[in-house]
Amino acid sequence: MRVYLPATIAMLRDLESSGEFRARSGTAFALTPALREAYVSGSDEELEYAALLDAARASLRLIAAEEKGEPRRVVVSADVSGVTLRPDLDAPVVRIGGPIPLSAVAAIHVDAPEAAEAVAAAAAVIDAADLGDPDAEFTLGDAEDHELAWYAPQELPFLLELL
């Protein structure tokens, strides 16, 4: 199953050095039956993109938790087996069983440098946005207006060198 893993730049550095990705609490996002039911229509590609966007929002929470993190959302997409559905949480949430080898990574999605200011502001108000604060939701929307850039796994060393 293709999963979308929220991450940070620091987690990408760990992926490069260890050759494995360790998802926080094993949390990932995917096109699940619950996600499919949540939408009236949409192709698999559109629904997978919705799962990727949920992972990008979760990346904001990881950024907010880092003391000196780089304010750029990161999502690692990977093909894994042994995924546990979590319909008790949000529709696309799944759990993975352990570290994911770099060889299972399909792509890496990262904000461009020009998104950093909006991402930093969104990370600062992500909890308030979750609680329905309209100003925080507006700030979150500014960050989500930025598209994530796509990188192949073999480009990871070059991506990190450019940061």
Q: Which residues contact 40 (CB under 8 A, 6 or more apart)?
A: none
Residue 125, judged by CB atoms within 10 A of its CB (0-12, 13-18, 19+), counts as buried
Residue 82, judged by CB atoms within 10 A of its CB (0-12, 13-18, 19+), counts as exposed
Q: Return the pLDDT at 34.
A: 86
pLDDT in tens, 79-108: 999 899 987 888 899 999 899 999 999 999
* pTM for the model: 0.93
Q: Return the pLDDT at 146.
A: 97
Collapsing DSSP states into helix, strand and coil, what is residue 104? helix
User: Are the beta carbons of 143 and 121 closer than 8 angstroms?
Assistant: yes
Given the structure tokens 């308030």, which residue do they identify?
128
H/E element holding 140?
A: helix 134-144
Q: Which residues of the chain have pLDDT under 70?
A: none
Hey, how many other C-beta atoms are within 10 angstroms of the C-beta on 111? 23
Residue from 119, 127, 118, 122 nearest 140 by CA: 122
Pairwise CA distance, residues 59 & 51, whole Å: 12
Collapsing DSSP states into helix, strand and coil, what is residue 148? coil
- The full set of domains in the chain, from first to last, is 2-113+148-153 (3.20.170)
